[in-house]
Amino acid sequence: MAERTDVAYLCPMHSHIRRSSPGKCPKCGMDLVPEGTRFGLLRHMISSPLHLAVMAAVMVALMAAAMMMMR
């Protein structure tokens, strides 16, 4: 099967970072994903238990802050 050579790889956080091959973003170090990949940032976030823990802690903190503001 022939490999596509016209695929551009983008950083999920910095869409102006474009490369012709896979690699890492020079700004944030995230894996570059093929252009048109849906949910690239979410896929990156769930790739590590540490990312999941940080994301859960942030969501809990935001919910607690919202509940305190409703009082």
Q: Give the pLDDT confidence of 8-61 residue by residue, as tens digits.
A: 898 888 888 999 999 999 998 888 888 877 676 677 777 788 888 888 999 999
Residue 2, classified by CB atoms within 10 Å of its CB into exposed (0-12), middle (13-18) or buried (19+), is: exposed
Residue 43 counted as domain residue: yes
Indicate the SS3 state at residue 10: strand
Residue 49 counted as domain residue: yes
pLDDT for residue 65 is more than 90? yes
Could you give the number of structural domains in the chain? 1
pLDDT of residue 24: 93
Residue 38 counted as domain residue: yes
Q: What is the pTM of this model?
A: 0.48
* Domain of residue 65, residue span: 9-70
pLDDT of residue 51: 81
Residue 4 counted as domain residue: no
